[in-house]
């Protein structure tokens, strides 16, 4: 993954996590796998960044965690989206879309 400025990266990771959890509750490994698969290998979130983001999101009450059993029958921490998280996701999604559109406008040759 390219190295954009840190806060953008952070914001992007957050929105990716939220979007993933909107799909269904998952544990951290599952989230990074989902993102990797969905982006066809283009987006690979660094684990350190991911877990820091997850805990940060939980502190902000955008996600909620609980211990469950993974598909490999091991104890794992699962995250799910809260109502506030859902709202935040919609907002950030919109923001990111506008940003991308703006970038495109500048970068496009026409």
Partner 1 sequence: MSRYSRRRFFQLPWRSSERIRAEVDEELQFELDMRAAVLVRQGLSEDDAKRRALQEFGDIEQTRHYCAETDIAAQRSEGRAEWLSELRQDVRLAWRGMRRTPGFTLVVLTTLALGIGANTAVFSVVRKVVIKQLPYEQPEHLVRIFGATARNPNEGGLLTPAQVEDLRELPTLAEIAPFGYYSGHTYVGDKRTEMWQGVTVSPEFFTTLGVRALLGRTIDARDVGDVPAPVVVLSYTLWQRTFGGDSSIVGRDVLLDGHSRTVIGVMPATFLSPERDPEVWTPLDLRAAFRDPVAARHTHSFRVLARVADGVGPTELRASLETLSHREQQAYPELGEGSIVMAVPLHDAIVDGADSALLIVMGAALLVLLIACVNVAGLFLSRAVARRRELAVRAALGAGRARLVRQLLVESAIVGLAGGAIGVALAFAAKHLLVVGATMLLPTMGDVSLDSGVLAFALALSASCVVAFGIVPAIVGTRIRLRGALGEAARSSGGRTSSRLGRALVVAQVALAVVLLIAAGLLGRTLIALYGTGVGYETGVDLLTFGVSLSSPAYSDDARRLGFFHELEEKTRALTPVRSVASVTVAPWAGYTTGGPDSIFAYGVTAATGVADLASEVTVSDGYFATMGVPVRAGREFTERDREDAPQVAMISESVAHRFWPGRNPIGKQIRLGKRDAPLMEIVGVAAEVRARPDGDVMPTVYVPMLQHPVGWTSFVVRTRGNAMAVVPAIRGALHEMDPGTPLVGARTLHDELAGMLAPQRLMLWLVGSFAALALMLAALGVYSVMAYAVGAREREFGIRTALGAQRGSVMALVLQQGMTMSLAGTAIGLLIAAWATQLLAGMLIGVAPRDPTTFVAIALLLLGVSVIACLIPAQRATRVDPADALRAD
Of 109, 97, 101, 102, the residue nearest 12 (C-alpha)? 97
Asked if residue 81 lies in contact with residue 19, where contact means CB atoms within 8 angstroms, the answer is no
Q: Is 29 an interacting residue with respect to partner 1 (CB under 8 A)?
A: yes
Using CB under 8 A, which of 1, 8, 39, 68 touches partner 1? 68
Q: Is 75 an interacting residue with respect to partner 1 (CB under 8 A)?
A: yes
Q: Is 85 an interacting residue with respect to partner 1 (CB under 8 A)?
A: no
Using the rule CB under 8 A, give the single segment among 7-15, 22-30, 87-95, 97-105 that binds partner 1. 22-30
Q: Is 48 an interacting residue with respect to partner 1 (CB under 8 A)?
A: yes
77 φ, ψ (degrees, to nearest 5): -95, 120
């Amino acid at each position: 993954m390219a190295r954009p400025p840190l806060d953008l990266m952070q914001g992007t990771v957050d929105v990716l996590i939220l979007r993933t959890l909107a799909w269904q509750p998952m544990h951290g490994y599952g989230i990074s796998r989902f993102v990797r698969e969905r982006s066809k290998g283009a987006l690979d979130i660094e684990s350190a960044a991911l877990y820091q983001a997850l805990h940060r999101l939980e502190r902000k009450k955008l996600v909620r965690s609980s211990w469950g059993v993974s598909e490999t029958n091991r104890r794992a921490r699962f995250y799910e989206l809260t109502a506030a998280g859902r709202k935040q996701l919609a907002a950030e999604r919109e923001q990111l879309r506008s940003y991308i559109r703006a970038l495109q406008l500048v970068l496009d040759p026409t």
